[in-house]
Amino acid sequence: MRFAIYQDSHIGGRASNQDRMGYCFTREALLMLLADGMGGHQNGEIAAALTLQTMGALFRERATPDISDPSVMLDELIYAAHQSLLAYRATHRLPDTPRTTIVACLVQHGQAWWAHCGDSRLYWLRGGRILSRTVDHSHIERLVALGRVSPHERANHPERNKLYNCVGAPTLPQIDKAPPARLQSGDQLLLCSDGLWSSIREHELAYRLSVAPLEQSVPELVRQAAHAGGKTGDNVTALAVTWLDDLHDPGESSLMTDALPNDRVITSIHPSGS
């Protein structure tokens, strides 16, 4: 595999940053994760961190070096994270379970699979155009789908932050999965929290990613969204990858996994206690 990857986060106007992002890869498979701890519930930052740690650990165990069924694996990753949050509540005798959104993407053999719970998004982009994105599990998206609210009202609607699906709720999360996408060289995948997508128009987001390297475009988008949010703005987090093939100039910032041993896993997700 050849790809370029970059991630960045900003606290915004909040007292703490409850967003978490990270990735793991072997020579054949790449897993990207982004979680946004739910501030309306206790310990949102713990929910997001524990979700990433649980999912990253399971990927490191199963990717040998690829995943036999990526779609099933996404289910198993999210359900494992859910169970870890329930166990955390029981161990610490909390009155409520910490909760978080999650968006996950697994790339393998030139294809991408993704799944999400909540309103953290994934965008699939090609040449500055959005080919697909996840649909938020939110009350406002239901209103838009029913035609009761205009899509242009999403950003400022008073019920825009009401979610009906997450990891850590009393019921099992509803996992929304996309069919596998065949990637072309130069395609980009962006995972982001609502602090980013709610502050930057989609066409601008797509354009910015297409005209500059990720190490420049991703932090610029994060800073712009944080500035737009101001003193009351949400946490802003983004993780993006550009897929590259043998015919594409990989550039200095890209990674090539061909030389990795079959049992080697590279990760940016810190284990519990670190």
Position 42 confidence tier, pLDDT thresholds 50, 70, 90: confident
pLDDT digits (tens, 9 = 90+) for 163-177: 999 999 999 999 999
Mean pLDDT computed over 111-126? 97
Options 3.40.190.10, 3.40.50.620, 3.40.50.1820, 3.60.40.10; CATH for 2-134+174-267 is 3.60.40.10
Quick one: pLDDT at residue 274?
A: 38
Domain range summary for the chain, segments of one domain joined by +: 2-134+174-267
Position 273 confidence tier, pLDDT thresholds 50, 70, 90: very low
Cβ atoms of residues 192 and 239 within 8 Å? yes
- Tell the residue number behind the tokens 């997001």, with chain if given: 48
C-alpha distance across the termini of the chain, in Å: 29
Quick one: pLDDT at residue 140?
A: 83
At residue 37, the 3 state secondary structure works out as strand
pTM above 0.95, yes or no: no
Q: Is the pLDDT of residue 190 over 70?
A: yes
